[in-house]
Structure 1
Amino acid sequence: MTLALYGHPFSSYTWKALIPLYASETPFEFRAIGPDQPDNSAFVAASGPAGKFPVLRHDDNTVFEATTIIEYLHLNVVPDAGLIPADPHAALMARKMDRVFDNYVMGNMQDVVNEHLRNPEAPDADRTAEARARLTKAYDWLEHWLADHPPASGVTLVECAAAPALFYADWVLPIGDGRPRLADWRARLLALPAVSRCVEDARPFRAYFPLGAPDRD
């Protein structure tokens, strides 16, 4: 079996695809994207309509989009790892939370980052304020949701989506002491060996974070 993941160690969506591979101890080759790896970059560019990473290559199959990669791993590589709950209703709820983290946490965080990338000297204040306001609403919703949904101890689709989203979102807008359940969950996620490995591998690239990476985590 030839299994390779194309991505960048500082990329949140690359983390999302790496976490299930690390957690399940699945052998694979990581193929980094960058100016020194033109072949890898060319492969990613040709793999999907947007040419974005991560991309999974498994024998003759090419899979893009981090959520789809996790679904593919569940079906074809590590079906016993528990990435998707066996109960159909629980699986539906996991997929719902995956969308919450991608669209309302990661998405709003990325909107702020994009404004700083677009104009580092003077990011649009209204757009960044609106994105942070949306992120605040997502935090508050998650804090309320956690009251009735204690975090799982293992790694499922939900943890794969939540860990990178909350890691970077807290850099853009700190979760703060007023959301103790969410702050505690973030800390527990970062302590998972698979997530901690992603954090450490990405550490050399923190200087590239456009808002300035905080001196923590």
Structure 2
Amino acid sequence: MTLTLYHHPLASFCHKVLLALYENDTPFTSVVVDLGDRQASAEFFAFWPIGKIPVLRDGRVDRTLPETSIIIEYLEQHYPGARPLLPHDQAARLDTRLWDRFFDCYVQVPMQKIVADRMRPEGEKDPRGVGDAHATLQIAYSMLDRRMADNTWIVGDAFSMADCSAAPALFYAGIVSPFTGDYPNTAAYFDRLAGRPSFKRTIAEARPYFALFPFVDDIPKRFLTDDAAP
């Protein structure tokens, strides 16, 4: 198969690319990266020495692509599906890129700070940094709540790359710093994301690895089984 995605089913940034692939039923080979396996790790680092996932390999042109937004734009250009993930209108396309970065920088990054701190041993924790991360998330939720007051999806009426970015960011951030109750438009938007088949498939693939997530006990029950109520 031409495309190979190196990823891990639990990783939030990997979810973003998986959503884009599943939204358009784009065929690809899945390679789960186990950095604890010496051979698998060496193979992966040969493609991308930075060592961060996901990474997409296009065997047809012998090209390696890191970075989630770059991967999705590459798919849009070279392997387009029935559902465009970047609008044709230039203003809307720029808006899509803006909100894509918003979720990556102001939801994913502070969420990962909180998660990483939970994994640190006593004496090495960063309570001030965690507090700042929670504060950033609250600002992001407030901005998103205003945005979603009149929108179905982030950019107009069509699901886009920005929504691919939003879904995993809000899934994990909502666990470590809940938004339900205080931000009704954000919560309603996340429910729409959670109802998409691409999201359900991604979460189903992540579920066997949930035990590795430091906040596993806080994962909402609706995500623990395939037949859980929405």
Per the alignment, residue 16 of structure 2 pairs with 16
Identical positions, percent: 37
Does the 8 Å contact 1:56/1:63 carry over to 2?
A: yes
Report the Cα offset of residue 115 of structure 1: 1.2
Cα offset for 1:147? 1.9
Change in 2 beyond 3 A, CA 1:129/1:70: same
5+ residue gaps, structure 1, are: none
Provide the rounded CA distance (Å) in 2 between the counterparts of 1:212 and 1:135: 20
Judging changes above 3 Å, is the alpha-carbon distance between structure 1 residues 182 and 27 closer, same or farther for their aligned structure 2 residues? same
- Give the corresponding residue for 1:160: 164
Q: CA deviation at 1:80?
A: 4.9
Mapping for residues 55-204 of structure 1, pairs under 5 Å? 55-59=55-59, 60-78=62-80, 80-119=82-121, 123-151=125-153, 154-204=158-208
How far did 1:5 drift?
0.4
Alignment partners' CA distance in 1, 2:213 and 2:112? 11
AA at the equivalent of 2:151: H
Return closer, same or farther for 1:153/1:189 CA change in 2, 3 Å cut-off. farther
Q: Distance in 2 between matches of 1:96 and 1:213?
A: 33
Using the TM superposition, give the Cα deviation of residue 121 of structure 1 relative to its aligned residue in structure 2, in angstroms: 8.0
Size of the aligned set, in residue pairs, is: 217
Counterparts in 2 of 1:215 and 1:14: CA distance versus 1, 3 Å: closer
CA-to-aligned-CA distance 1:31-63 (integer Å, 9 cap, x gap): 011157654432332333521110101121110
Q: By how many angstroms is 1:192 displaced? A: 0.5
> 1:154: Cα distance to partner?
4.7
Instruction: State whether residues 25 and 81 of structure 2, in contact with CA within 8 Å, keep that contact through their aligned partners in structure 1.
Output: no
CA gap 1:6/1:186 in 2 versus in 1, 3 angstroms: same
Cα separation, 2, equivalents of 1:72 and 1:148: 30
**Which 4+ residue blocks in structure 1 deviate beyond 3 angstroms?**
35-40, 120-123, 152-155
Query: Helix, strand or coil: the match of 1:63?
Result: strand
| Distance in 2 between residues matched to 1:120 and 1:134, nearest whole Å | 24
Between the aligned partners of 2:205 and 2:122, the Cα distance in structure 1 is: 26
Aligned-partner residue type, residue 24 of structure 2: S
Q: Is the 8 A contact 2:24 2:81 kept in 1?
A: no
C-alpha distance in 2, partners of 1:194/1:154? 15
> Quick one: structure 1 residues 104 and 215, their matched pair in 2 at CA, closer, same or farther if it must change by over 3 Å?
closer
Task: Return the offset for 1:26.
Answer: 1.2
Counterpart contact for 2:20–2:164, Cα < 8 Å: yes
**Deviation (angstroms), 1:212:** 3.2
Normalised to the residue count of structure 1, the TM-score between the two structures is: 0.92
1:27 aligns with 2:27: yes
Question: Structure 2: 5+ residue runs without aligned partners?
Answer: 224-230
CA RMSD of aligned residues (A): 2.0
Q: Is the 8 A contact 1:44 1:53 kept in 2?
A: no
Taking the aligned partners of 1:178 and 1:189, their CA distance within structure 2 comes to 18
Contact map agreement 1:31 1:40 (CA 8 A) in 2: no
| Structure 1 partner of 2:43 | 43
Q: Secondary structure at the match of 1:46?
A: helix
